[in-house]
Amino acid sequence: MLKQSLKLKLSQKLSPQQIQLMKLIQLPVLDFEQKLKQEIEENPALEITELINNDEFNDDENIDVEDYINDDEIPDYKLNSYNSSNKDENSIPYASGMSFTQLILNQLRTERLNDLEMKIAEFLVGCIDEDGYIRQNLEDIIDDLAFTQNIITEHKTVESILKIIQNLDPPGIGARSLQECLVLQLRRKDSNEISTKLALDIIEDSFDLFSKRHFEKLLSKYQISEEELKIAIKEIEKLNPKPANSLSVNSTKLIEQVIPDFKIEIINDKLLLSLNGRNKPTMNVSREYTEMLKGYSLEKKRKSQKEAVQFIKQKLDSAKWFIEAIEQREQTLMLTMKAIMTFQEAYFLSGDEKKIKPMILKNIADKINMDISTISRVANSKYVDTPYGTKLIKEFFSESMINNKGEEISTIEVKKKLENIIEEEDKRKPETDDSLVKLLNKEGYKIARRTVSKYREQLNIPVARLRKQI
């Protein structure tokens, strides 16, 4: 039975300008500079100058397009997201140059392969992932060759071509497992070296014992000394578990250079906050375009001028909006960072991480009457230069917990203590999560085992078994 009903729903929609402002707020310094260059290239009505006397600005430059010309048409920028792009807002430029796949294929062309073998080889290269591995088993690849390339072949043929690929650079490329990847690299080394031969034997025949850090069993199996095992392990640790990453011209993302957005200084025992000058360019609307529009407004409108007038109007209005957006961005950044600095004043004055107070996004949002998502955009991508080094702002946010004295402390303090305990442990007998709980309890931190495991993982610290050394 069909039923009709009316339902009122209240929803908030962000305007294209609000969306673009949020994106501007999120950008770190280098990306912000890139955005400025892009805007200037795309909008001739927008100019940037290093030094401009504020007195030069007069009422004529507070442009209101509707005052210049009465036109019912709405500029395109008001209907669409300003300078919209299909790119993800967090995208980072990719390295230019020859692709990883092309580098491998170029090496393949030096091999003596017939047309069919080359097609199979090219297909195999296409199966290599960003780490340098072929994760599919050969049977599945043979099926894919048959269905997608109409190539019927045998396992031994594909296996022999894969071996040719695995002999290419970088060493370890085309491996099907970490074990095979390490073996391929060790086989390229000088086999006359005793340590290399031992390392190869361990990886080929005792990979499970090695990966589980069963050093006593390895010592017994190979009848070697601890020193000999240490040297072999050092040989293995020099290998690259992700061989594709060794190519500087592959399509891995560029590492972004860290430039602080803010600076906090201590002057006369007081904190002084400043914004990086690169975040605050001096921009103005082009006088030339302003005068051009004024000239059109003084003449009688003709149909032939309509498109030109509309174009100038759009560019001038867009330029004005962008300048205002930059001002709003600066105000938002400073207001947010000042609130964070005030909240964590005890830390910024002393540098003592134990004085970092528990702080969540809502604390700052409520303090300055802003949306939590705005605070998150500022915190996630911005750095601050402090007397104690350059810090990522989001690192100052943490949950709280109660210590044995009933005091509220930051989880940052607990993680730091956990990290120190693990750094100082006996690597021959690393502390298990259970023993870490006991040690933290002795230090006054009441904490559960699952919480210790969670914090350890957040710190990228492996379990005790994998931290074991000889």
**pLDDT, tens digit, 9 for 90 and up, residues 318-374:** 888 888 888 899 999 999 999 999 999 999 999 988 888 899 899 999 999 999 988
Q: CA 379, 382, 385: angle at the middle one, nearest 5?
A: 115
- pLDDT tens by residue, 93-115: 333 445 778 889 889 988 999 99
Look at residue 79 in the predicted model and tell me its pLDDT: 34
Closest-CA residue to 107 (of 61, 168, 51, 186)? 168
Beta carbons of 177 and 197 less than 8 angstroms apart: no
Q: Which residues contact 42 (CB under 8 A, 6 or more apart)?
A: 83
Look at residue 11 in the predicted model and tell me its pLDDT: 46
- The residue whose two tokens read 């105000």 is 331
For the chain, give me the number of helices (H) and strands (E)? 22, 8
Distance of CA 407 to the CA centre of its chain: 35
Mean pLDDT of the chain: 80
Extents of the domains making up the chain:
14-80+252-397, 100-166, 178-246, 400-467
Look at residue 293 in the predicted model and tell me its pLDDT: 64
**Phi/psi at 447 (nearest 5 deg)?**
-150, 145
Provide the 8-state DSSP code for 171: T
- pLDDT tens by residue, 208-258: 999 988 999 999 999 999 999 999 999 998 999 999 876 544 343 334 467
Residue 289 has pLDDT above 70, yes or no: no
Beta carbons of 319 and 335 less than 8 angstroms apart: no
Q: 8's torsion region: left (phi>0), alpha (psi -120 to 50) or beta?
A: beta
- The arithmetic mean of pLDDT across residues 168-176, rounded, is 94
DSSP string over 338-366? HHHHHHTHHHHHH--GGGPPPB-HHHHHH
**Phi/psi at 272 (nearest 5 deg)?**
-120, 120
DSSP string over 38-88? HHHHH-TTEEEES---GGG--GGGS--HHHH----PPPHHHHS-TT--SS-
Distance of CA 282 to the CA centre of its chain: 29
Q: CA 279, 280, 282: angle at the middle one, nearest 5?
A: 145
Closest-CA residue to 274 (of 284, 264, 266)? 264
Look at residue 72 in the predicted model and tell me its pLDDT: 40
Q: What's the CATH class of domain 400-467?
A: mainly alpha
Beta carbons of 164 and 121 less than 8 angstroms apart: yes
Q: Is 442 exposed, middle or buried (0-12, 13-18, 19+ CB in 10 A)?
A: exposed
Alpha carbons 326 and 46: distance in angstroms, whole number: 13
- The residue whose two tokens read 């395109």 is 76
